[in-house]
A = this chain, B = another copy of it.
Amino acid sequence: MIGESPFAVEPWSVREQSVDLDRLGVSESVFTLANGHIGLRGNLDEGEPHGLPGTYLNSFCELRPLPYAEGGYGYPESGQAIVNVTNGKLIRLLVDDEPLDVRYGQVVEHERVLDFRSGLLTRDLHWVSPAGKPVRLRTERLVSLVQRSIAAISYTVTAGDQPVQLVVQSELFANEDLPAAEDDPRIEAALARPLVPEVHTDETTGATLLHSLRGTGLRMAAAMDHDVHGPAGTETHSNSSENIGRTTVICRLAPGRSLRIVKYLAYGWSSRRSMPALNDQVRAALTAARYTGWDGLLDEQRAYLDDFWASADVEVDGDAQLQQAVRFGLFHVLQAGARAEGRAIPAKGLSGPGYDGHTFWDTETFVLPMLSHTVPDAAAHALRWRLETLPLALDRARQLGFEGAAFPWRTIRGQECSGYWPAGTAALHVNADIADAVLRHVGATGDDEFARTVGLELLTATARLWRSVGHHDGDGGFRIDGVTGPDEYSAIADNNLFTNLMAQRNLRGAADACRRYPDEAAELGVDPEEIASWADAADAMVLPFDAKRGVHAQSENFTEHAIWDFDGTPPEKYPLLLHFPYLDLYRKQVVKQADLVLAMQLCPEAFTPEQKQRNFAYYEQITVRDSSLSAATQGVMAAETGHLGLAYEYLCETGMLDLHDLAGNTEHGLHVAALSGVWSGVVAGFGGMRHLEAGLSFAPRLPEELSRIAFMIRWRGRRLRVEVHPGEARYRLLDGADLELLHHGERLTVGKAEVTAGIPAFAPVEPVRQPVGREPLVRRLRAGGSS
């Protein structure tokens, strides 16, 4: 149990039982509907009040200048920022002569439900106008996972015990005013009125608006059409102007009678297609959606999600909040990645403007593990997008003085958009993370075609990078100096252990792939000498170990640095980066987010069990978890090193991050990597899943707080179900050929019949501790403190 939830705790949905105007921004993010292609924040239908209006199209972004007080060679001059596009969710209602607005009149009942199985956001409002006229509103909203350019809204108003006259204005609204961004370096300035009107048209029941962007030149179209079901005398007409398309419906309702409108919305955008082509594209999509009809869209959505849950569901017994959180995470990660197809999966999905809508290494390292094992097509698409941007990464490497490819630290369309190189461009590990995602995906799917085409080229380009970034020192060791690892409270360090281990994997993976596909490798110009040089570098990789303390060093000399004064740092000074200079942070032992600990999760065979325990204990006491990326990893490694209660707490923290707004910034969008981390916390944490040299491996073990977990993963054409009970684990294939796997190091052959295996006891471990005040947040929530 985590503490009181702002939402009702239900296994398959998130229910808000009254609207909290102070937390609208959070609920808008939580209630986001998206399909990876378009995303609608959970704004109220009538548009106001709002926390932050938001409608996003994947990769539809504008340029923004990146200014520097002192410039430098290779600094990106232009950034990219996701644009809040034409708002098609908007449906305003006039009841007699008063606009429906929950800030006025009386809200008798207001409930919103996001249902993970139907994919619908439902709203029920019972409202009495200031003049005393009661109406009931029920809206259902969906963003189709099947027809990727389509969203639809079913909007029903029912008169109370008095007759009312209604005017409904359903709109397309471009260039909304946005609240000013906060003064926080992590929240980038939103762009003001970026959409240039191009064309606007209207018909009786709908309208279309076309706009373009000045900087990127991208063009977009938004179109709507409506089915109106009202009493006799209901009138419908539409008009349009540069930034507004409006369909107006007028009727009188007798007491108890209803007006129902189904709004169909279509979005299209392109950097190449002409305005007429885009216009036709959205009108065609709209025609198809109307042809499918509201009920048809619902059925499609349900079928798509049934299929997803049938291969991806994770069951957790013993903690209803965690059960809800796990499915909430799965659902939103699916929404972020399902239909991205050729575009990136951003750190916030399409749920908000945080981080300017950029994608980071998060996707490969935290999101793709889940997708490769549950929706492998989505993972493959995400990596194909990286391959499409390879020419930009090759150019960037040249600019930086490297061979191979240097993928951007943060981007929307593939260009480096980082304005602070020590924690951006210098974090070259993103390249190894992409390679790692390729290797994991190929391992999980056995997709030979992907490996031969997408995989080989990505592995080769990134291996070339590492070979040129590192060098053999006088003793033959292969060093990677002056780069930044995952921990953003250190930078420009020598031999970051995470980077070096991931580069080692990258080099070996590339060598293996080139040996496996010699013809394709030859086409990429790879010869045996180059392969040998990769293998040599990997074998000679420097892995800093502090023999005096018996722990690995996050980077060379790291453990010699002064330890941060945690006892002298009060709670209000976190996150540290907002209260201390990088100069202070970088020079001391203080870890923002799992770095070496993440290396232990991702490269489990590079450490002995004893090293993992010692390393975990050492880094746990200096890790402040100022990043949402950290708790999941700490939880996974806590589980592996025997700290099951702590692992459970970290899993709860990860699961509650957005539902409880633990980081205080959910309003700017969901933390998609953390949402994926909930899945990892269960599957890699309590399930102990790892890809080892010897094959797929599990080491399941439950914390006291949970009585059972069950999950499924896809593995090379199979679906494997794993169920863990306190004393035993049960394995079973839902389909596919028998599979040999490892259970706590023992080989086990699993087929359609359930195989049960005992769970060995764990020798008791010394408790570990965190910096004061940086214990898992759930402890504080349980104690009734504020987040």
Which residues of chain A have a CB within 8 Å of any CB of chain B?
66-76, 79, 185, 399-402, 418-422, 424-426, 471, 473-474, 479, 481-483, 491-492, 494, 548, 556-557, 560-562, 577-584, 586-588
Contact = CB atoms under 8 A, between A and B. Distances in A.
How many copies make up the complex? 2
Nearest to A472: B562
Given A491-B492, A556-B557, A560-B473, A68 B583 contact: no
A421 B492 contact: no
Given A67-B67, A474-B548, A481-B587, A73 B561 contact: no
Nearest to A586: B482
A562 B481 CA distance: 8
A455 to B, nearest CB: 27
A620 B431 CA distance: 35
A419 B578 CA distance: 18
Contacts of A402: 584
A783 to B, nearest CB: 29
Given A68-B68, A73-B578, A419-B68, A400 B584 contact: yes
B69 A580 contact: no
Contact of A481 (B422, B557, B577, B579): B557
Contacts of A548: 474
B72 A560 contact: no
A582 B421 contact: yes
Given A581-B401, A581-B421, A72 B557 contact: no
A165 to B, nearest CB: 53
A69 B67 contact: yes
Contacts of A584: 400-402
Contacts of A66: 69
Interface of A is mostly: loop
10 contacts: A67-B69, A69-B76, A70-B418, A71-B185, A73-B579, A401-B581, A425-B581, A474-B548, A479-B560, A481-B588
A221 to B, nearest CB: 32
Nearest to A406: B583
Contact of A581 (B74, B562, B588): B74
A117 to B, nearest CB: 41
A397 to B, nearest CB: 11
Contacts of A583: 74, 400, 421, 425-426, 482-483
Contacts of A419: 68-70
Nearest to A410: B70
Contacts of A70: 185, 418-420, 424
Given A479-B560, A481-B587, A420 B72 contact: yes
A568 to B, nearest CB: 10
Contacts of A581: 72-75, 399-401, 421, 425
Given A72-B420, A400-B581, A422-B422, 14 more contacts: A68-B68, A72-B577, A72-B581, A73-B582, A400-B584, A401-B581, A426-B583, A481-B562, A481-B587, A481-B588, A482-B583, A491-B492, A492-B587, A494-B560
A613 to B, nearest CB: 21
Contacts of A72: 185, 420, 577, 581-582
Contacts of A473: 560
